[in-house]
Structure 1
Amino acid sequence: MRTFLRSLLIIAGTAVAGLAFNAGPASAAPVFTDGFEPPPAPQAWSFTHVGNGAGGFSNLGPRSGVQDAFIAQTGAGFSSVQRTVAITPGAFCTASVFLDPAKTPAIPATEDMALEIIEPVSFTYVARDLRTMSSSATYTKFNVSWSSSPATVLVRITIGGSVVGGVAKVTALRADDFSISC
């Protein structure tokens, strides 16, 4: 009987140890999510541009929910949608958003778009995911990670514009399902 109990304890101990070592790293739950849904999206996000740009909210092609953010730029400059987010200072964080290039004949074959995390006081880039995407692409997930996070970050989604051969290039994108996990 004693041998049986000892064997049972060894098996139980091995099972518990196996669970502890095989659990893998814990994944951080989102500390902030925003699907650009009302409210508060229209109040929390702001649109900026340098040059001939525009932005707003639409229900014409959200990835999920009923609304997305859109930005457009004609010619040189950039357009952006941005907001500040308070997070745990010093943490390792990852931000993600789904971006969808516009799909109209007036839009060129490729577009430059980015997800940017900025320290808002000094306006220093903390992290950035810049890509040139085909306008035929569908919603694509952009991710950035950073460590030693400031307590507040400025999240900015941008699209660049340009003039090619004397003709103003038109660019546009939709953004949806933004989150930060720390």
Structure 2
Amino acid sequence: MSSLYLLLLLLPLVAAQTFHWGPCNTPKVQPGFNLQQYLGRWYEIEKLPASFERGKCIEANYSLRKDGTIRVLNSQFDQGKRRTGEGTAVVRDLTEAAKLGVSFSYFTPYSPYWVLSTDYTSFTIVYSCNDFFRLFHVDFAWILSRSRFPPRETVQHAKDLMTSEGIDLTRMKATDQTGCKDE
């Protein structure tokens, strides 16, 4: 009975996300992932809904800290203001370097940040999924680019790859990258 109450308490939290019954998918990740090539600025092109991303001109900047962790600096323009969030990413297992963990608070555990595919210079596909008792999961997916306006074929290639890995893209939405300061 307490599991039912917990489930009912969690449902409002996942309403603004992409919710599915059953456990998380386990898509393949980028083989031979090279973190050094991945670092730098990436612009969000499309995403599955995420309650923490409601603005426009969304971008992420990754840099290496002296302690070997990765500084994640996300920014977006929301309600007339530039808003930023700083987090930390870590490579959890060097044998699968594309499966990172990311946290935006000292009080929260690392969430999956899996790089499914990247060419390092034009696009990357990122996937994250949190499983709740193997009853349901909430997943996130992002198509990021080094350019605010990548070619349509690049975006379609990313979507095709995610679909082939069993990721449901029916709720995927484009991020508004128009009118951004450095456009």
Instruction: Please give the range of the TM-score, normalised by the shorter of the 2 chains.
Output: under 0.3
Report the TM-score, using the length of structure 1 for normalisation: 0.27
More strand by proportion, 1 or 2?
1
Report the TM-score, using the length of structure 2 for normalisation: 0.27
More helix by proportion, 1 or 2?
2
Q: Radius of gyration: which is bigger?
A: 1
